[in-house]
Structure 1
Amino acid sequence: MSNIIQLLPDSVANQIAAGEVIQRPASVIKELMENAVDAGATEIQVVTSEAGKNLIQVVDNGSGMAETDARMAFERHATSKIREAKDLFELTTMGFRGEALASIAAIAQVELKTRRKEDELGVHICISGSEVESQEPVQCATGSQFIIKNLFYNVPARRRFLKKNSTELRHIINEFQRVALANPGVAMSLIHNSVPLFNLPVGNIKQRIVNMMGKQMGNQLIPIETDTSMIKISGYVGKPESARKTLGDQFFFVNNRYMRHPYLHKALMDAYDNILMPETIPAYFIFLEVDPEIVDVNIHPTKTEIKFENERAIWQILNASIRESLGKFNLMPSIDFDTADQIEIPVPQKDFVPQAPNVEVNPFYNPFEEEKKRAVTSYGGSSGGSFSATPKTEGWENLYDGFSTNPSPSDFEPSESEMSFESEQEQQPVQQTILSSGGEESSASNNHFFQLKNRYILTSVKSGLMMIDQRRAHERIIFEGFMQALSRGASLSQKMLFPEELPYGPHEVGMINELKEDLLTLGLELEQKDDETFLVLSTPAGLENISAAQLVDGILTDFKDGEVDVDKEVCEQIASSMAKRAAIPYNKGLSQMEMSELFDQLFACSIPNFSPSGKPIISILDNDELTKRFS
């Protein structure tokens, strides 16, 4: 029997590795930018076309490579960063495994031009699908220039799984921001389809944050600085009032390497406990410096998940550091022991005998005398005099003016207003009929609604006890209103007397411009004032529970991780997002009239049983179940 175990060809092994390391165009940009930083570059330029699917160009002025090194760099596991296994725990560079360039060359057409400062000529290498097509000397600038064309051209299944350009561009911007924030001493720029998105000069951490996130971020940052024998923490956190429901402005770095760490994120959120609005997340840009020996960055192919040796201690240090910064800037309750008016604590002297305090008591005080005075004042007596037992009798004859001695029968007939009120009461139906989801005709008595825990609306129907989730019910009502507006092609909107200004960063500005036409269809009209500010000109009519800023932030949150390709689905998702944000919140008391109106509007919807996200709205405890509970 022939052997069935065989070694994979290098090209196939590289494609498999590419599936882990290169997931999308943003992964290519991350790897090439980190290599440029490791090469000592002071300027990095990134150029993309069609969200990196057709072209990615990364140019740096780093140290460059010699001819032999340039060729070896595309071999799998060829690296200059490590020599033996223990070097993994002494890493100070971004890349180290030697998989990036080999993986990129396996699934794209790659050109490299590179030259060292001491060389007169550089080298030009062309590789396609792991095969070297040409290698020749070339005149070029010092540093490296990578050109990546037709990503996943030889893996069509992978290319089909790429998302639309706007989604892939968001991932590119995310990776660019992570590398740029970790290296403020390097000038960086990003150009997409010939449009400059970022142009970041050299500066410090705060300048880099402001240049990247927008000028409005500068006044919202609180510095943190902690230095211990285990870890050094620096960076900035956002003020509580600037916290938003949108994700994207939260960054952790360890030894200048971006990381995701839910455990440390919880430490930060715990420090903000009780000073944040519900469901909001503050911005933070936190840099951790630790001994490379106590951190493992090799547990994930993209090196974004990191394991610390003593996470619990780091959690406590980070939490205390943020609490200290918030306390220094008077953003949370604290006791200042350094003030001039210090609390004086008496120190007992030797042979000191404490004396009982003297309490002055008025033995003639009568508390009931004050009650008598108040009684006289409230019933017409003078407020300043003493109580008088003799009532005043002046003018008693006028008490019965207007009353006849012999009343006529007409005196007892009801007035016109009383008669009209009674007629209205007779005309009102005792019960209203509704149609439940199953086609069953149910009835609910007027004014017989009960609210449980300011969350559920209870009412009786023919089949038993109906329970309605008030927030989901209102969400369904608003959503169907938006969908009716979409079918008409326009929505009712309310003009703003004073347009509200909404500041956003470059990333969010692009998203808003992409969704602006769909938002206008739903009644939310935005106009770009400058590169970082939008004006809210009108809002959808009938949304009183939410501000324009909260509405836009909620939509951006849903779309940052959403994957929607069809235009109709985009409108529906925006309508669902707006309905979710604008629905009445839990823990809000409702009057009988409000509950009745919500009830009627819900059963006028086409799908009253489920919210736009598919969650149940109605639950019925049937009569048999009720009888069984009391048997």
Structure 2
Amino acid sequence: MSNVIQLLPDSVANQIAAGEVIQRPASVIKELMENAIDAGATNIQVITKDAGKSLIQVIDNGCGMNETDARMAFERHATSKIREANDLFALQTMGFRGEALASIAAVAQVELKTRREEDDLGVQIAISGSEVESQEPVQCPVGSQFSIKNLFFNVPARRRFLKKTSTELRHIINEFQRVALANPQVAVTLVHNDVPMFKLPAGNIKQRIVSMNGKQMGSNLIPIDTDTVMVKISGFIGKPESAKKTMGDQFFFVNNRFMKHPYLHRSVMDAYDNILHPETVPAYFIFLEVDPQIIDVNIHPTKTEIKFEDERAFWQILNAAIRESLGKYNMMPSIDFDTTDQIQIPVSQKSGELVEPTVEINPFYNPFEEEKRNTGSGYGTGGTATFSSKVSAQGWENLYSENEGNGLPDFSELANTEMAKQEQAADTTNQEPVQQTFLSGGASEETSGSHRFFQLKNRYILTSVKSGLMIIDQKRAHERIIFEGFVRTLQRGASLSQKCLFPEELHFGPEEMGMVSELQPDLMTLGLELEQVNDGCFRVLSTPAGLENVSASQLIDGILTDFRDGEVDLQKEVTEQVATSMAQRGAIQYGKVLSPPEMGELFDQLFACMVPNFSPSGKTIISIMDMEEMQKRFM
């Protein structure tokens, strides 16, 4: 029997490794920029075409390599950072495993030009699919120049799974920002399709944050600085009022290495507890300096996941440091002592006698009558469904008549007596009959006349139907109504919009600018007209009709949140997703008190929709409790 276990060829092994290390063009840029940082570069240029699918060029002015090192750098597990296993727990550099260049060369066409300062000539190496095609001397500046062409040219399945250009460009920007923030002392430039996107000069961390995110970010930063035995924490956090619904300005760095750590992110969010708007996330740029021996960065091929020796201690230290910074800059809410029911201490007069405070007592005050006046009529803020005295009496009589002969007590006399008392009270005060109320936590509703809707907890609309009790989620119902209105607008190709008297200016980072520019035609179709003022700034000229209560910034913020991680290729799906996002932001919110006519109109519009049962995101709008279930509850 022949042997079945065989060694893989180096080219195949490198392609397998590339599947873990090189996931997309952004992974190539990350690895090459980190190698340039380790080479001592002070200036790095990144040039891409078609979001890196056609060309990735990284040029640095680092130390460069000689002919032998340049050839060895493309061998698997060839590295200058590690000599023994213990070196893995004392890492101070970015790359160390020696897999990046070997993986890149396995799935792309690579050309390297490099020269050291002490050499007269450099070396040029061309590699395609792990095969060295040429190696020759060349005249070039000090440093290294990598040109990566036709990524995944020999792995068609991987190339088909690359996203569209705008999505891949967002990933490139993310990786570029992470390396740039971790190394503010290095000047970095990003050019895409011959258009400069970033040109960041060397400086300190605050200058790097401002130059990357715009001048408006500078006034929203709070410094953080804490030094303990375990960790030194520095950097900046955002003011609570500048928090956004979109993720993207949240950065953790450990020993200048970017990391993702959901556990520490919860520590940050806990420190901002009760001072943020709902569903918003503050910006933070936090740098942790720790002993390399108490962390492990070698648990994931991309080195973005880091394991701490004592995560709970880091959580507490970080949480306390952020709370301290927020309190130091008066970002935490101040304590407002309530003076209600406060004991009044007698004050001393010049004569030395104590003057007792006077207390006025009204013996005729009835707090229950005050409650009736506040909640008994109209649509008050704390009101509930109301019933007139005659209706209440009628209810008692009906209860008696329906249960006559069943052994129940006679309530008719009690009802008549109660109604007589209320009418007598009304005659003595010369006022309208006081309505009886029952508290259910919902909005005020009248049941007399044609009003057949109730609002429960300012969240659900209740109405009687033939099969039982129908419960409608008011927010989801309004989402469905707005969504189908937008869809009809898209089908007609024209929308109703309202011009802004005072145009609002919206500022975006480079990543958000790309998304807004991509979505601008669809937003225009839906009535949200934007005009680009300059790089990073748009002016809102008009907003969709019917959404006047929602600001354009809230709409755009929500739409970018939906599109940041989503991948939509077809134009139809893009417009429908925009319509869904705008419907979610423009719908009435929970807690909104609705009058009976408003609930009736919402009910009618909902059942005029094509799909009244589900919201645009697929959630249930209508639920019916049938009579059998209701009867079981009273058995």
Q: TM-score range by the shorter chain?
A: 0.7 to 0.9
Q: Is it true that 1:79 corresponds to 2:109 in the alignment?
A: no
Report the counterpart of residue 373 of structure 2 in structure 1.
none
The one-character-per-residue Cα deviations of 1:278-324 (angstroms, maximum 9, x if unpaired) are 00011111101000001111111111111111111111111111111
Q: Any idea what SS the aligned residue of 2:560 has? A: helix
Q: Is it true that 1:501 corresponds to 2:501 in the alignment?
A: no
Report the counterpart of residue 293 of structure 2 in structure 1.
293
**Of the candidates 588, 595, 598, which is equivalent to residue 591 of structure 1?**
595
Report the counterpart of residue 91 of structure 2 in structure 1.
91
Q: Is it true that 1:542 corresponds to 2:521 in the alignment?
A: no
Pair 134,579 (structure 1): closer, same or farther in 2 beyond 3 Å: same
Matches within 5 A, 1:76-155: 76-155=76-155
For the 8 Å contact 1:545–1:583, the answer to whether it is kept is no
Q: Any idea what SS the aligned residue of 2:547 has? A: coil
Amino acid aligned to 2:533: K
Amino acid aligned to 2:214: G
For the 8 Å contact 1:446–1:596, the answer to whether it is kept is no
Distance 1:536 1:19 in 2: 44
The one-character-per-residue Cα deviations of 1:548-567 (angstroms, maximum 9, x if unpaired) are 10101111111111100111
Matches within 5 A, 1:455-474: 455-474=459-478
Pair 300,366 (structure 1): closer, same or farther in 2 beyond 3 Å: closer
Distance 1:130 1:469 in 2: 60
**Of the candidates 538, 559, 562, which is equivalent to residue 555 of structure 1?**
559
Distance 1:334 1:471 in 2: 34
Report the counterpart of residue 526 of structure 1 in structure 2.
530
Q: Is it true that 1:195 corresponds to 2:195 in the alignment?
A: yes
Pair 333,135 (structure 1): closer, same or farther in 2 beyond 3 Å: same
Q: Is it true that 1:183 corresponds to 2:187 in the alignment?
A: no
Q: Any idea what SS the aligned residue of 1:288 has? A: strand
Distance 2:121 2:141 in 1: 9
For the 8 Å contact 1:253–1:286, the answer to whether it is kept is yes
For the 8 Å contact 2:113–2:140, the answer to whether it is kept is yes
The one-character-per-residue Cα deviations of 1:68-118 (angstroms, maximum 9, x if unpaired) are 111111111111111122111100001111111111001000000011111
Amino acid aligned to 1:246: T
Report the counterpart of residue 7 of structure 2 in structure 1.
7
Kindly state the Cα deviation for residue 586 of structure 1 after the two structures are TM-superposed.
1.6
Distance 2:119 2:139 in 1: 10
**Of the candidates 610, 618, 631, which is equivalent to residue 614 of structure 2?**
610
The one-character-per-residue Cα deviations of 1:456-514 (angstroms, maximum 9, x if unpaired) are 22211111111111111111111111000000001110000110111111221222111
Report the counterpart of residue 304 of structure 1 in structure 2.
304
The one-character-per-residue Cα deviations of 1:177-196 (angstroms, maximum 9, x if unpaired) are 00000000000000000000
Amino acid aligned to 1:293: Q
The one-character-per-residue Cα deviations of 1:352-379 (angstroms, maximum 9, x if unpaired) are xxxxx985459xx89579999xxxxxxx
Report the counterpart of residue 317 of structure 1 in structure 2.
317
For the 8 Å contact 2:275–2:333, the answer to whether it is kept is no
The one-character-per-residue Cα deviations of 1:405-432 (angstroms, maximum 9, x if unpaired) are xxxxxxxxxxxxxxxxxxxxxxxxxxxx
Report the counterpart of residue 275 of structure 1 in structure 2.
275
Report the counterpart of residue 247 of structure 1 in structure 2.
247
Amino acid aligned to 1:108: A
Kindly state the Cα deviation for residue 2 of structure 1 after the two structures are TM-superposed.
1.3
Q: Any idea what SS the aligned residue of 2:562 has? A: helix
Matches within 5 A, 1:196-595: 196-333=196-333, 359-360=354-355, 446-595=450-599
Distance 1:590 1:232 in 2: 53
Q: Any idea what SS the aligned residue of 1:621 has? A: strand
Would you identify which runs of 4 or more consecutive aligned residues in structure 1 move more than 3 Å?
357-362, 365-372
Amino acid aligned to 1:116: R
The one-character-per-residue Cα deviations of 1:550-604 (angstroms, maximum 9, x if unpaired) are 1011111111111001111111111111111111112222222222111111111
Q: Any idea what SS the aligned residue of 1:134 has? A: strand
Q: Any idea what SS the aligned residue of 2:629 has? A: helix
The one-character-per-residue Cα deviations of 1:245-264 (angstroms, maximum 9, x if unpaired) are 01111111110001111111
Q: Is it true that 1:42 corresponds to 2:42 in the alignment?
A: yes
TM-score (norm 2): 0.82
Kindly state the Cα deviation for residue 451 of structure 1 after the two structures are TM-superposed.
2.0
Kindly state the Cα deviation for residue 453 of structure 1 after the two structures are TM-superposed.
2.2
Q: Any idea what SS the aligned residue of 1:285 has? A: strand
Kindly state the Cα deviation for residue 333 of structure 1 after the two structures are TM-superposed.
3.4
Distance 2:123 2:584 in 1: 57
Distance 2:189 2:548 in 1: 42
Amino acid aligned to 1:196: P
Distance 1:599 1:620 in 2: 14
Kindly state the Cα deviation for residue 532 of structure 1 after the two structures are TM-superposed.
2.1
Distance 1:514 1:325 in 2: 38
Pair 613,361 (structure 1): closer, same or farther in 2 beyond 3 Å: closer
Amino acid aligned to 2:469: L
Instruction: Give the number of the structure whose alpha-carbon radius of gyration is greater.
Output: 1
Kindly state the Cα deviation for residue 609 of structure 1 after the two structures are TM-superposed.
0.8
Distance 1:529 1:367 in 2: 64
TM-score (norm 1): 0.83
Distance 1:368 1:556 in 2: 60
Distance 2:468 2:300 in 1: 54
Distance 1:314 1:369 in 2: 60
For the 8 Å contact 1:545–1:584, the answer to whether it is kept is no
Report the counterpart of residue 439 of structure 1 in structure 2.
none
Amino acid aligned to 2:208: R
Q: Any idea what SS the aligned residue of 1:587 has? A: coil
Pair 208,625 (structure 1): closer, same or farther in 2 beyond 3 Å: same
Amino acid aligned to 1:265: H
Q: Any idea what SS the aligned residue of 1:537 has? A: strand
**Aligned residues: percent identity?**
77
For the 8 Å contact 1:214–1:506, the answer to whether it is kept is no
Distance 1:628 1:53 in 2: 64
Amino acid aligned to 1:186: V
Distance 2:450 2:360 in 1: 51
**Of the candidates 613, 616, 622, which is equivalent to residue 626 of structure 2?**
622
The one-character-per-residue Cα deviations of 1:501-529 (angstroms, maximum 9, x if unpaired) are 11111221222111111100000000011
Distance 2:522 2:189 in 1: 30
RMSD: 1.8
